[in-house]
Amino acid sequence: MSLDVNTIFQIAGIGIIVAMIQTVLKQMGKDDWAQWVTLIGFIVILYMAATLIDDLFEKIRQVFLYM
């Protein structure tokens, strides 16, 4: 369980790094690249969250519908 908790901090770290990259790219004047970076970071994070939610739903299905 403690191994899994790393995922939360991973996600938060990705968020902070993406925000930093976005700021730098915007200051360099490359607004479209900044948007792409945000979008891809968001997709990666969404994938991680979706995997976890699938895990949770599977477990709840086992607990409540196992008869």
Partner 1 sequence: MDILQIVGLGLAVTFLALILKEKNQAFALIVSLVAGVFILLMMVDQIRLVMDMLNNMAQNAHLNNVYVATILKIIGIAYISEFGAQIAKDAGQNSIAGKIELAGKLIILVMAIPILTAIVDTVMHLMPQMGGG
* Count of other CB atoms within 10 angstroms of residue 15: 14
Tell me which residues touch partner 1 (CB under 8 A): 1, 4-5, 7-9, 11-12, 14-16, 18-19, 38, 41-42, 45-46, 48-49, 52-53, 55-57, 59-61, 63-65, 67
Instruction: Please identify, using beta-carbon distances, which residue of 28 and 53 lies nearer to partner 1.
Output: 53
Contact 25, 41 (CB under 8 A): no
| Residue 29 CB, nearest approach to partner 1 (Å) | 20
Q: Which tokens hold the place of 42?
A: 């968001």
- 45, 17, 23, 47: which is closest to 35 by C-alpha? 23
Instruction: Please identify, using beta-carbon distances, which residue of 30 and 59 lies nearer to partner 1.
Output: 59
